[in-house]
Amino acid sequence: MPVEHVLNDCYNERGYGEEGGIYKKLDMIKVGLSALPIPNLKSRRKHIYLHDISHLVTGYGGSWLSEGSVSSWEVATGD
């Protein structure tokens, strides 16, 4: 199955919508019982799919620990 289809299936399962919501003006980050809005900047939209593919390849979910692990790898590799 093409990566694009796997990503879109994952986005739909998690309620992110088609293409992970990259066309939204704002995205929300859950913090405890609240959610904080963050701007969905052009640079984020351009690279978020690589971040999401990292989640699929590593099997890391969307918890703070998983996000930290994926993001640490991206910082360490210069992505």
The DSSP code for 64 is H
Burial grade of 67 (CB within 10 A; 0-12, 13-18, 19 or more): middle
User: What's the whole-number average pLDDT of the chain?
Assistant: 87
pLDDT at 79: 66
Which whole number is the average pLDDT over 72-78? 88
Q: Would you put residue 19 in left (φ > 0), alpha (ψ -120 to 50) or beta? A: left
Q: Smallest Cα–Cα separation from 30: which of 16, 47, 12, 41?
A: 16
Kindly report the pTM of this predicted structure: 0.76
27-60 per-position pLDDT tens digit = 888 888 999 999 999 988 888 888 999 998 999 9
pLDDT given at position 1: 79
